[in-house]
Structure 1
Amino acid sequence: MTAIPMDDPRLDKWLWSVRVFKTRAEAAAVCRNGRVQVNGLAAKPGRDIHVGEVVTARVGLVTRTLKVVGVPRSRVGAKQLPEFLVDLTPAAEYERAKQASLEHLLARERGRGRPTKKERRQMGELFGFE
């Protein structure tokens, strides 16, 4: 698929079409909440997007930095993404998100107290402490 300009290269539509967000409504909501920036400035969902701009979007725990290479006509497959964007997100950002998800697994429910000896052994086996 080639980068054919769409009629309205809106930011929310671009974010959806290059699979940053699952739905266009979700992309628009994130833009309205101020978690998307284009070239360092907060951007609204209806802002036009152009080739060469750098888009920074907060997706869950990761702040993704993407450079616009092309504007697809509609949503594209994952294999075609390199034709439309370059991922400039530092590897440390993905590692931080991975660490946060691991910490979430280790968290205990409030009021459960300390782990029992059996639970500590199971955690040790799971994470290779012993």
Structure 2
Amino acid sequence: MAGAEARAAPAGGLRIDKWLWAARFFKTRALATEAVSGGKVHVNGERCKPARRVHPGDRLTIHRGQQTWEIDVRALNDQRRPATEARELYTETPESEARREAESERRRAERAMADSAPSGRPDKRQRRQIRRFIRQDGQGE
């Protein structure tokens, strides 16, 4: 990656939409541009436009769906490389990592609770069990 980094690291910075695409936060540049225009990406705490230049050392806050990343830009690359190489372009802050992990765990727990809840109408077997229960309960009085 050293050769690609040297070629792909423009001195004047790199457009944020292109960097987000290369760092694999968004699948296409169009999606990255739409997110930046929609206020889902902030550079150093400020809202920006897709043409905004990012430089190593900038702090980005990226909101995508239910996830939020807070990262520091380490390197620039205008080519989309494999995920292992893309992860070398930034470092995520420990607070952001802990927050994302906690949110993921909360969603996992909510899904488990939703799976255990009854889903809609009872089936034939459950209806028979309900009738049996009601008959037993009514006869016991």
Same fold (TM over 0.5): yes
Which among 67, 71, 78 is matched to residue 83 of structure 2? 78
CA change 1:77–1:99 in 2 (3 A) is same
Contact map agreement 1:62 1:94 (CA 8 A) in 2: no
Matched, 1:5 2:23: no
**RMSD (Å), alpha carbons:** 2.7
Deviating 4+ runs (over 6 angstroms)? none
Secondary structure (helix, strand or coil) at the match of 2:63 reads: strand
Contact map agreement 2:16 2:51 (CA 8 A) in 1: yes
Matched, 1:112 2:120: yes
Report the counterpart of residue 107 of structure 2 in structure 1: 100
* Whole-angstrom distance in 2 between the partners of 1:59 and 1:94: 15
Structure 2, unaligned runs of 5 or more: 127-141
Matches within 5 A, 1:5-84: 5-6=9-10, 9-84=14-89
Structure 1, unaligned runs of 5 or more: 119-130
1:112 partner letter: G
Identical aligned pairs, as a percentage? 30
TM-score normalised over the length of structure 2: 0.68
Give the total of aligned pairs. 114
Report the counterpart of residue 123 of structure 1 in structure 2: none
Secondary structure (helix, strand or coil) at the match of 1:79 reads: helix
Contact map agreement 2:19 2:78 (CA 8 A) in 1: no
Report the counterpart of residue 127 of structure 1 in structure 2: none
Which has the larger Rg? 2
CA change 1:49–1:92 in 2 (3 A) is same
TM-score normalised over the length of structure 1: 0.73
* Whole-angstrom distance in 2 between the partners of 1:105 and 1:21: 29
Secondary structure (helix, strand or coil) at the match of 2:54 reads: coil
- Which of the two has greater helix per residue? 2
